Amino acid sequence: MLSNRKLFLEYLAQTSPSPSMLEVEKAKGVFIYSPSGKKYFDLISGVNVSSVGHSHPKVIEAIKLQADNYLHTMVYGELIQSPQIKFAELLISYLPDNLESVYFVNSGAEAIEGAMKLAKRYTGRTEIISFKNAYHGSTQGALSIFGGDYLKQAYRPLLPGIRHLDFNDFDQLQRIGPETAAVVAEVLQAEAGMIQQQAGFLEALRKRCDEMSCLLILDEVQTGFGRIGSMFGFESYNIVPDILVLAKSLGGGMPLGAFISSREIMEVLSYSPELGHITTFGGHPVCCASGMAAMEVILDEDLVHCALEKETAFREKLKNPAIQEIRGRGLMLALDFKNKEFMLRVVKCGFEEGFITDWFLFCDTAIRISPPLNISYDEIEEATLLLDYCINKVKSQ
């Protein structure tokens, strides 16, 4: 009989040049367990997904309850399904007035596609601007606004009318013009290696979009739900988007995305032609129930405000001189060794010693630290000791 390892390589399409090959038996809280019972600190939350930890009892309960009631019944937007309505109502109650209409989809990339279509349709313009070193998903529209060349070069032609600006370059904001339908931005550039704005940049971007009457789409797929010390990242920067894009932790561990806008903007998807976006599984009732339960956990356990305090705990404990820089905000951090080989060996050592981390699409000298928001201070202590042990081990090799 073939081992799961062999079956994984033989039957599952492989795209990663170096899969970690860790087999998952179960996951609970901040830990992932292998079949041998060995436990691993999940220091990346499956890339910012498991914000309330793995298998949170309230999330599991909500999933079971909804699964007992009904699974898929009909394509999006036809039948009234209470998990969708209740979750949309909860989301809207925590959002500014103009973010009042939710379109649930399946993933971050689909939410980006929906947001780009919506902006083109609403403004009647076609140009979309995004930023260098930004990742917004892997479908063809999302790939078109990818802020690099490497991943998209083999798939051209992609969408026309796309321009990329340098994040934090105030002068380049002038390139946003009367032909621009929308600018897509992150409030903190995750895959660039947790790059924050220079003071005032996001406000200047908002102002320029207003001057040119184009829409600002904020991709909060990674920054949403308390990661950087506010429920939604934009609240930390004093701006409000025209379209908000959410995914990853939105579903509490189940696949869910959303683009959210004003009723006036969203309405254009309903006429000339109608069915402006179609999705079979978007807003799946089990995913909405799970997402809502996870958001309630974030609220009940006050996980939004502790992200900044836990950032401080990580920073205080990570003083190894091999770490050249710690970037980011809240529980979205990058530890930069400024050396790719060194970084790879720390990641490898983590899998041997019991913690999981990875690196970034646009920064291969730093590791990602974005654990579940409810990681305890004792767990931070234990995880950082392990991390320090690995850094010293790599140094001594």
Instruction: Residue 345: name the closest of 331, 359, 361, 329 by CA.
Output: 359
Q: Say whether residue 331 binds ligand PLP (CB under 6 A).
A: no
Taking the complex as a whole, how short is the minimal distance between the CB of residue 332 and ligand PLP, in angstroms? Answer: 11
Binding track, positions 237-266, relative to ligand PLP; x by CB under 6 A: ----------x-------------------
Closer to ligand PLP by Cβ: residue 87 or 135: 135
Select 165 or 221, whichever has its Cβ closest to ligand PLP.
221
Q: Maximum CA pair distance of the chain?
A: 66
Site for ligand PLP in 45-84 (CB under 6 A): 47
Q: How far is the CB of 361 from ligand PLP (least distance, A)?
A: 8
Count the residues of the shown chain that bind ligand PLP, applying the rule CB under 6 A.
Answer: 15
**Kind plus residue range of the DSSP H or E element containing 56:** none
Among 36-44, 106-114, 144-152, 304-312, which window interacts with ligand PLP (CB under 6 A)?
Answer: 106-114
Q: Is 136 in the site for ligand PLP (CB under 6 A)?
A: yes
Q: Which of residues 168-227 bind ligand PLP (CB under 6 A)?
A: 186, 190-191, 219, 221-222
Check the CA dihedral 361-362-363-364 and report its sign: positive
Contact (CB, 8 A) for 27 and 54: yes
Interface stretch with ligand PLP, choices 70-78, 108-116, 274-282, 370-378 (CB under 6 A)? 108-116
Question: Site map for ligand PLP, 284-323, x if CB under 6 A?
Answer: ----------------------------------------
Residue nearest to ligand PLP (CB): 108
**H or E element in which residue 184 lies:** strand 180-185
Numbers of helices and strands, H then E, in the chain:
12, 16
CB of 294 vs ligand PLP, minimal distance in Å: 16
347 beta partners: none
* Residue tagged 């932790």 (tokens): 249
Among 245, 248, 229, CA closest to 237: 229
Residues 6+ apart with CB under 8 A from 333: 194, 311, 314, 326, 327, 368, 369, 370
Do 91 and 102 meet the contact criterion of CB atoms below 8 Å apart? yes
In the complex, which residues of this chain contact ligand PLP (CB under 6 A)? Answer: 47, 107-109, 112, 135-137, 186, 190-191, 219, 221-222, 247
